[in-house]
Homo-oligomer: A and B are copies of this chain.
Amino acid sequence: MDETPERLAGKPSWLISQLSVHVHRLVADAFSAEGARGYHYRILAALDEFGATSQIRLAQRSNMDRSDVVAAINELAAHGFVERSPDPDDRRRNLVSLTDAGTQRLEELEKVIEGVQEDLLSPLPQDERAALSRLMGRLLAHHRTR
């Protein structure tokens, strides 16, 4: 009943994008239950790991467009998870920093996204999960640099 054309089923591009659809659904459902979305987690993660920076560096680190960073920061700031302050060294820049509430928020979202990984990978044993990550990582590294 669930017929998928061979032409599609056999193509890596199809597998990746369909898998991504499921991933996106899992992530979006889990995050939206918390009133968050992917962009928020990405920015919080980047701030937590690399510390306060300009929005443009945030954009690079979380692989987003700078205009989308603006919107996401607006939303995060409205909840008090991040703060914007003018950079004294360069008045063009906003220094975006994580608040205590933001750190806490990140830990919440971290739990959520960890649960999603489990859901996602449940059919694979540990060694195959690692193999999959390794292969995807190789492809990604290649296409990021070029």
State the A residues within 8 Å of B (CB): 1-13, 15-20, 22-24, 26-27, 38, 42, 45-46, 48-50, 60-63, 110, 113, 116-117, 120-124, 128-129, 131-133, 135-145
What is the CA–CA distance of A48 and B8 in the complex, to the nearest angstrom? 12
- Inside 8 A of A49's CB, which chain B residues have their CB? 5-7
A144 CB, min distance to chain B CBs, angstroms: 7
Tell me whether A23 and B17 are in contact (CB under 8 A).
yes
Secondary structure type dominating chain A contacts: helix
Residue of B nearest to A121 (CB): B12
- Inside 8 A of A135's CB, which chain B residues have their CB? 124, 128, 131-132, 135
Contact pick for A13, options B18, B60, B117, CB 8 Å: B117
What is the CA–CA distance of A48 and B23 in the complex, to the nearest angstrom? 29
A-B contact pairs, 30 of them (CB 8 A): A2-B144, A2-B145, A3-B60, A3-B61, A5-B42, A5-B48, A5-B50, A5-B61, A6-B49, A7-B48, A11-B113, A11-B117, A12-B117, A12-B132, A13-B116, A15-B137, A15-B140, A16-B16, A16-B20, A17-B24, A17-B38, A18-B63, A19-B136, A19-B139, A19-B140, A22-B140, A122-B142, A124-B138, A128-B135, A132-B136
